[in-house]
């Protein structure tokens, strides 16, 4: 899912966004920590795009009144992965998915999932990304 902005879904193609992130990172690699900053920013942009793709599918499946199906579990795992690794991801899972910090995802809570905002920009600091 991550970062394919091409109109053609060719698995062998590289999106313009991915190329620009790589190019920018290489171009400013002489500046201390600049390449890392580019990676963080590009990663957050791609995570937001993934979130915006997963969210409507998750809501559609949760509304089917079968939140323990494989599809819902898979979509919950994918949307959890869009949150920044570490404390943000744990907080996100606990607050929006199943109320747990760790362990296998087995019982997503419909009421918690429905609290997810449509746009991750509306997620409180510390639950999705700490940089933005």
Q: Minimum mean pLDDT among 11-15, 35-39, 63-67, 91-95: which range?
A: 11-15
Rg (the chain; Cα; Å): 16
117-124: long-range contacts (C-beta < 8 A, 24 or more apart)?
118/55, 119/52, 120/47, 120/48, 120/51, 120/52, 120/82, 121/48, 123/92
Predicted confidence at residue 56, as pLDDT, reads 96
43-92 pLDDT, tens digit per residue, is 788 889 999 999 999 999 998 866 668 899 999 999 999 998 888 999 99
In this prediction, residue 24 has a pLDDT band, given cuts at 50, 70 and 90, of low
84-131 pLDDT, tens digit per residue, is 888 899 999 999 999 877 788 888 898 999 999 999 989 988 898 865
Q: 22 vs 64, which has greater pLDDT? A: 64
């Amino acid at each position: 899912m991550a970062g394919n902005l091409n109109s053609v879904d060719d698995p062998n193609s590289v999106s313009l966004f991915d190329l620009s992130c790589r190019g920018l990172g290489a171009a400013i690699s002489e500046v201390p920590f600049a390449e890392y900053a580019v990676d963080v920013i590009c990663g957050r942009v791609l995570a937001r795009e993934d979130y915006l793709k997963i969210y409507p599918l998750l809501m559609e499946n949760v509304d089917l009144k079968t939140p323990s199906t494989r599809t819902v579990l898979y979509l919950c795992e994918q949307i959890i992965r869009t949150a920044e690794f570490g404390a943000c991801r744990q907080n996100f899972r606990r607050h929006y998915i199943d109320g747990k910090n760790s362990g296998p995802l087995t019982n997503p809570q419909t009421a918690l999932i429905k609290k997810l905002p449509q746009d991750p920009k509306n997620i409180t600091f510390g639950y999705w990304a700490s940089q933005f």
